[in-house]
Structure 1
Amino acid sequence: MRENLAEAANAYMAWWNLAGVDCAVGEEPVDWLRPAQTPTRTPVSVPGDIPAQAKPHNFETFLTWLAEDATQPERRWPGAMILPEGPTHAPLMVITDMPDPADIGAGALLSDRAGQLFDAMLRAIGLKRADIHLASLFLSRPPGAMVEASDLTAAAARMRTHVMLAAPRRLLLLGDRTIRTLLPAADSGSRVFNHDGGTLSVFATFHPRLLLGQPAAKAECWRILQGLIEEMPE
């Protein structure tokens, strides 16, 4: 019986606590009909609030900016970043969309079977990896390979600076997402890429990962590469 009375008393007190009555007598009068005031929250700083650093003006500081700037979209994603590689003023700069899962493990873009096919494509136009400047729109791979529209806009602006500082002779875009991001619909038929320092001849073709699954697309890819060969410097 005592246990039942104790449980009833606890339940009774809990009900009053939920109702907002936490003491029998207070020193200040309380207007119980006044709506409760929402406490003012102090703004909390988050990584997105960090002011962006000014974009660098040479390629060495650009690489440091990519690796260390806290406002890069890749800072929100897990996994290591893969930075661009290859010489500046290269005869060709190749841009893909993002690292594949195999690339993350290898620490380099276009590895595994897609990389083998890519190397064959380069040999077909008389080049090897050491000759080209290789980069990706995004330096790491987001969950599900999904990116927000704002991230695509930021990546496009970042790449326009990248191309200006890398200063290649020609540009080759790999994959639909790369093409749509860097050549908007209004310029989809254009063979000129507008970057921060001017314009550059651009070619666009399928990503090697698609060619592995759709061999019939290789003929169209080869046609585009032939056009690139015709414009390559002697």
Structure 2
Amino acid sequence: MSNPASQRTAPIAVPQPTAPASPRRNLLGDSPPTDLAAFRQWWVESPELDTAGLYPRIAPRGDSGAALMVLVPQPEEHDGEVLLEGPQGRLLANILTAMGLDDSATYVASALPCHTPVADLSAISVAGMDAVLARHIALAAPQRLLVLGTGLAPMLGSQDDQPLREINYSGGKTPVMVSETLDAMMDMPRLKARLWKRWMEWSASN
């Protein structure tokens, strides 16, 4: 006589619905900022940028047309009024000094307006922040762009199989170099040596 327990079928796994992707929004609106001063004001005041209010929005620093724009994912956790005023900022200052660049030659900005723990940059990008970043870079019009955060490459239009080398915008083309984040360099000093080696090679041809 067969055992009824042996005839029981295994429960069928029911696929769980995936959360829908955030809908794409026109964060810049119908009248986007037309110069860097207007963008800075929009960056810290616009209600379209939903930041949940947990951390303050921090404006970029520097002037348009800088020799180098440095882009980081987000402000540091304890930034108050100045972008990167903590340990990451001190590391960046040392790096820029070694590169022979002072404050007047650099424009420092973040892809997100405020510190955002565990930020999903890909989701944030497709929800509309990629267009905001493109506008920001166009208004800043730097001669070169150093991106400190490999997770930012998709926000800049990079494809996985094609390393990002330049950005096209209304004012022309900007050479781009992508490297690791400042906090990663603080945790792994060898990354600073890698950045320097790549910088020397890149700056020799750009």
TM-score by length of 1: 0.68
Q: 1:88-99 counterparts in 2 under 5 A?
A: 88-99=64-75
Q: 1:9-158 counterparts in 2 under 5 A?
A: 52-74=29-51, 76-102=52-78, 104=79, 106-142=80-116, 144-147=117-120, 149-153=122-126, 154-158=128-132
In 1: Cα distance, 2:48 partner to 2:41 partner: 13
Gaps of 5+ in 2: 1-24
In 1: Cα distance, 2:192 partner to 2:95 partner: 10
- How far did residue 121 of structure 1 move? 1.0
Q: Which residue of 2 aligns with 1:10?
A: none
- How far did residue 164 of structure 1 move? 0.9
- How far did residue 209 of structure 1 move? 1.0
In 1: Cα distance, 2:60 partner to 2:146 partner: 15
Asked whether the 8 Å contact 1:97–1:174 carries over to 2, the reply is yes
- How far did residue 56 of structure 1 move? 2.0
Asked whether the 8 Å contact 1:53–1:69 carries over to 2, the reply is no
In 2: Cα distance, 1:77 partner to 1:148 partner: 18
Q: Which residue of 1 aligns with 2:144?
A: 170
Name the structure, 1 or 2, with higher relative contact order (CA <8 Å, separation 6+).
Answer: 2
- How far did residue 170 of structure 1 move? 0.5
**Amino acid aligned to 1:160:** A
Asked whether the 8 Å contact 2:75–2:112 carries over to 1, the reply is yes
- Which residue among 222, 225, 229 is the counterpart of 2:199? 225
Asked whether the 8 Å contact 2:43–2:57 carries over to 1, the reply is no
Q: Which residue of 1 aligns with 2:158?
A: 184
Asked whether the 8 Å contact 1:91–1:169 carries over to 2, the reply is yes
Asked whether the 8 Å contact 1:79–1:141 carries over to 2, the reply is yes
- How far did residue 64 of structure 1 move? 2.2
Gaps of 5+ in 1: 1-47
Asked whether the 8 Å contact 1:160–1:194 carries over to 2, the reply is no
- How far did residue 65 of structure 1 move? 2.1
- How far did residue 158 of structure 1 move? 0.6
Q: Which residue of 2 aligns with 1:43?
A: none
In 1: Cα distance, 2:174 partner to 2:120 partner: 27
Secondary structure of residue in 2 paired with 1:135: strand
Identity fraction in percent: 24
- How far did residue 167 of structure 1 move? 1.0
Asked whether the 8 Å contact 1:174–1:207 carries over to 2, the reply is yes
Q: CA RMSD in A?
A: 2.6
